[in-house]
């Protein structure tokens, strides 16, 4: 309604203006007193024409104004579009720059990690080379002395055997560091194991270091490898004693039961959540110098030490052994406040507290008979094992790889009593050879001789299918015991 009123008022106003304009034009003319209808009609036409002219002028003025406004808007749009285009271009450049920076940072991080790996590998290789060269020097030295006087062999051979045991222990530590430690599992009484280690170390470490023990009641039973768990306790205590140095200090070794609940997650040394459940908790705390962040980060690197170069694989092996027992480790330390290692070993539900394993006795005079197929690619090792087998009364056929072993078995299947096979061989490895021989004769006894650790072998081959396992290096008596067990049908 208001719009209609406004429109009517606008028309009336336009009419009024047109009338005034016509009136002003006519006032200048002499008009007769007598007006005809034609004049009135002409007047009306003139008024309408004037109205149209005025409307046209108004439209033209409005059009010009609109053109000015449109031109202004176009300029503003063009300016804004240019600004937005420039902003988009800058944003794209920023995105590309950030992506390139991220790629460069990732590359630098990868290069840094690779450099760290190579550095750790170099330290590992240098440390192992150092230890092995010392061991080989002992062996070569006693061999040289024996060659000078063979009558001294009885005195020198035990020293050579000790050196070999040291080398074997180093290999076991390397496997433990890699998390491939072979476990000989029994039920372990940890308090007795800890007491045994502490009693031994009290007589060897500095007198300024006091070792205290604290065992909580109801210590849970665990299942594990007693000798390797002993290695963990020993290395942690020795590390704690070294942290104390020459000052007076205390190493506290405690055992307790720990329960980790799902609603209260606990993180390990690597930041991973420890699985919920019941654990035996071993804590070793010292009052020593403590560690900074760098030392805490590198404490489990092989041969790393803040004391001097080449201390060994002790702490690295600790971590590997704990992993092999499906356990977890925590480390708390600050400079000047001492260090605490916490080891979580899964507890056993079984009430059994101890299981003793007794090595079967073997008659030192026992000998076998028949033919053994020996598959070994290392020539000197093959000669050594062949001599050992022949000493035990066997005929020996030697193959240098799995393919040759299969060919020799085809030729001598009727005579072959059993097979002793290495795993790492060229052309055809021990795993493939094992499977092919079992296809030919599922009942053929095959003893696996490996330097990779028993767990590595039993992951690839069924333990039930393997007649026996002998981990390198092995003594003559162990070979005799395994062969006797296999031939007489006993469990190895």
Q: What is the pLDDT of residues 361-385, one digit of tens each?
A: 456 788 889 999 999 988 888 888 8
User: How far is C-alpha 289 from the geometric centre of its chain's CA atoms?
Assistant: 30
Domain boundaries, the chain: 186-346, 371-487
Q: Is the pLDDT of residue 393 over 80?
A: yes
- Give pLDDT tens digits for 19-78: 676 666 555 444 444 556 777 777 777 778 887 888 888 888 888 888 888 888 888 888
Indicate the CATH number for domain 371-487.
3.40.50.2300
Structure tokens at 300: 């489990």
CA separation for the pair 60, 66 (Å, rounded): 10
Distances in whole angstroms, Cα of residue 271 to Cα of each of 265, 267, 329, 331: 11, 5, 10, 11
Q: Is the pLDDT of residue 354 over 70?
A: no
Q: Report the topology of domain 186-346.
A: Heat Shock Protein 90 (3.30.565)
Task: Tell me the average pLDDT of the chain.
Answer: 81
Can you give the pLDDT at residue 358?
40
Q: Is the pLDDT of residue 415 over 90?
A: yes
- Give pLDDT tens digits for 268-295: 888 889 999 999 999 999 988 888 888 7
What secondary structure letter does DSSP report for 267? B
Are 279 and 301 contacting, i.e. CB atoms less than 8 angstroms apart? Answer: no
State the average pLDDT over residues 1-18: 65
- Give pLDDT tens digits for 456-489: 777 778 778 888 888 888 888 888 989 998 888 7
State the average pLDDT over residues 312-325: 77
Task: Give percent of the chain above pLDDT 70.
Answer: 80
Q: What are the start-end ranges of the H helices in 149-261?
A: 153-177, 190-202, 226-244
Can you give the pLDDT at residue 285?
92
- Give pLDDT tens digits for 103-117: 888 887 777 666 655
Residue 274: CB atoms within 10 Å: 17
State the average pLDDT over residues 134-159: 86
User: What's phi and psi for 471, nearest 5 deg?
Assistant: -85, 135
Can you give the pLDDT at residue 375?
92
CA separation for the pair 466, 448 (Å, rounded): 7
**Cα R_g (the chain), whole angstroms:** 47
Maximum Cα–Cα distance across the chain: 170
Paired residues of 346 in beta bridges:
279
């Amino acid at each position: 309604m208001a719009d209609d009123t406004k429109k009517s008022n606008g028309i009336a106003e336009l009419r009024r203006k047109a009338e005034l304009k016509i009136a002003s034009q006519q006032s200048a003319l002499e008009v007769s007193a007598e007006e005809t209808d034609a004049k009135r009609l002409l007047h009306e036409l003139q008024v309408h024409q004037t109205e149209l002219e005025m409307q046209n002028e108004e439209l033209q003025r409005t059009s010009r104004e609109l053109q000015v406004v449109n031109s202004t808007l176009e300029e503003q749009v063009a300016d804004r579009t240019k600004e937005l285009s420039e902003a988009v271009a800058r944003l794209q450049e920023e995105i590309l720059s950030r992506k390139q920076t991220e790629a460069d940072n990732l590359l630098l991080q990868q290069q840094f990690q690779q450099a760290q790996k190579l550095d750790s590998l170099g330290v590992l290789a240098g440390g192992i080379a150092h230890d092995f060269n010392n061991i080989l020097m002992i062996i070569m030295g006693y061999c040289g002395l024996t060659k000078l006087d063979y009558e001294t062999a009885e005195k020198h051979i035990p020293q050579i055997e000790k050196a070999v045991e040291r080398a074997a222990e180093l290999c076991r530590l390397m496997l433990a560091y890699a998390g491939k430690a072979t476990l000989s599992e029994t039920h372990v009484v940890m308090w007795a194991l800890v007491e045994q280690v502490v009693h031994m170390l009290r007589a060897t470490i500095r007198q300024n270091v006091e070792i205290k023990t604290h065992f909580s009641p109801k210590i849970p039973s665990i299942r594990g490898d007693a000798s390797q768990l002993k290695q963990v306790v020993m290395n942690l205590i020795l590390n704690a004693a070294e942290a104390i140095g020459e000052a007076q200090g205390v190493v506290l070794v405690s055992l307790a039961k720990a329960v980790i609940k799902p609603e209260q997650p606990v993180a390990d040394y690597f930041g991973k959540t420890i699985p919920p459940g019941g654990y035996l908790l071993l804590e070793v705390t010292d009052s020593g110098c403590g560690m900074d962040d760098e030392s805490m980060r590198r404490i489990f690197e092989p041969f790393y030490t803040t004391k001097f170069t080449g201390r060994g694989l002790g702490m690295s092996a600790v971590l590997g052994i704990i992993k092999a027992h499906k356990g977890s480790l925590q480390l708390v330390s600050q400079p000047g406040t001492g260090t605490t290692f916490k080891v979580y070993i899964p507890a056993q539900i079984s009430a059994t507290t101890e299981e003793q394993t007794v090595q079967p006795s073997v008659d030192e005079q026992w000998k076998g008979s028949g033919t053994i197929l020996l598959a070994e690619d290392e020539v000197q090792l093959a000669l050594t094992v062949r001599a050992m087998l022949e000493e035990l009364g066997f005929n020996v056929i030697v193959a240098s790889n799995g393919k040759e072993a299969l060919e020799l078995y085809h030729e001598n299947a009727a005579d072959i009593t059993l097979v002793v096979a290495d795993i790492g061989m060229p052309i055809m490895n021990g795993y493939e050879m094992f499977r092919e021989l079992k296809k030919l004769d599922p009942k053929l006894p095959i003893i696996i001789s490996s330097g990779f650790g028993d767990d590595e072998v039993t992951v690839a081959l069924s333990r039930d299918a393997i007649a026996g396992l002998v981990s390198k290096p092995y003594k003559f008596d162990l070979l005799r015991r395994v062969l006797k067990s296999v031939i007489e049908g006993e469990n190895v």
